[in-house]
Chains A and B, each alone.
Chain A
């Protein structure tokens, strides 16, 4: 049985989903970036990274869930073309790496007693991977990272 995707018939619905996608990743990446800036020692020097992690953690996870769910909805409009889009595949790789890092070494770097040098390296990697994910998202249009 053929199932029709309602997003294929309404530009307005598509734009609304896109806005939620952007709001979701702004929340997720914004909260992670706050942690990274703290690890660099640029913000909230009198508070511990762990305190900041407690305040941002749930919002980061919430934003990530919204971004992934709406991202899947956007993907569902034209899965064939996304699947053959090299830039999209690189974005998915960056996103997987970013999420994995966030819940592994990033979480460890936040713990008290972690060397500040290590924290800074983790923050650099975290920022680089998240920004790469956003950039790949923009480059999907035109498949800019596909070397022909």
Chain B
């Protein structure tokens, strides 16, 4: 069923047009990577602040509060551009083991958010009374950095898998 859906998506006229354009596809890819750079900085800075690995001119609670909404906007932009890239070659991505790994890691990021949002990210002030992160805060931040590094690696590796033969491109 997912495969049928993938073939249907990639053969919508909009995505056939995107795929066949010499410039549009690379432009979307470039914007995807640019959005990742802007969004990634916010994620990394939040986690570095939680870990106490910055000179701490700005406290972790202030960083978390201020970057919460921009991080969501950045993720939405990067994910939308990523969806456009996926949809151009949905069937090929369906078979791509690194794409599957990337989706699995996104699921782990969602679990990370469910577990740590209320425990860490929504009340960092209580967990870091003297500015020193406790074990739970450090674990949450390190795990977040590792998950996002994994997503970045899987994303890069997607492009190195050869497309299987017999794809249903229009």
A23→B36 CA distance, assembly (Å): 10
Contact of A26 among B30, B37, B157 (CB under 8 A): B37
How many A-B contacts at CB < 8 Å in the complex?
Answer: 103
Q: Mark A1-42, 1 if CB is under 8 A from B, else 0.
A: 000000000010001001100110111011111100100001
Nearest-Cβ distance from residue A26 to partner chain B, whole angstroms: 4
Collect the chain B residues with CB atoms within 8 Å of residue A15's CB.
Answer: 156-157, 160
> Is the Cβ of B41 less than 8 Å from the Cβ of A135?
no
Contact of A22 among B31, B55, B56, B156 (CB under 8 A): B156
Q: Evaluate whether A43 and B26 lie within 8 angstroms (CB atoms) in the complex, with A11-B160, A18-B156, A55-B58 already known.
A: no
A56→B56 CA distance, assembly (Å): 10
> Is the Cβ of B38 less than 8 Å from the Cβ of A55?
no
List residues of B (154-170) whose CB comes within 8 Å of A's CBs.
156-157, 160
A148 close to chain B: CB less than 8 A: no
A92 close to chain B: CB less than 8 A: no
Complex interface: stretch among A44-52, A77-85, A99-107: A44-52
A69 close to chain B: CB less than 8 A: no
Contact of B66 among A29, A30, A43, A54 (CB under 8 A): A43
B149 close to chain A: CB less than 8 A: yes
Q: Evaluate whether A30 and B67 lie within 8 angstroms (CB atoms) in the complex, with A22-B156, A51-B58 already known.
A: no
- Chain B interface (Cβ within 8 Å of chain A)? 22-23, 26-27, 29-31, 33-34, 36-42, 44-45, 48-49, 54-58, 62-63, 66-67, 70, 149, 152-153, 156-157, 160
Apart from the given pairs A26-B152, A51-B58, 12 other A-B contacts in the complex at a CB distance below 8 Å: A15-B160, A25-B37, A30-B39, A30-B45, A33-B37, A43-B66, A44-B58, A55-B57, A55-B58, A56-B54, A138-B30, A144-B23
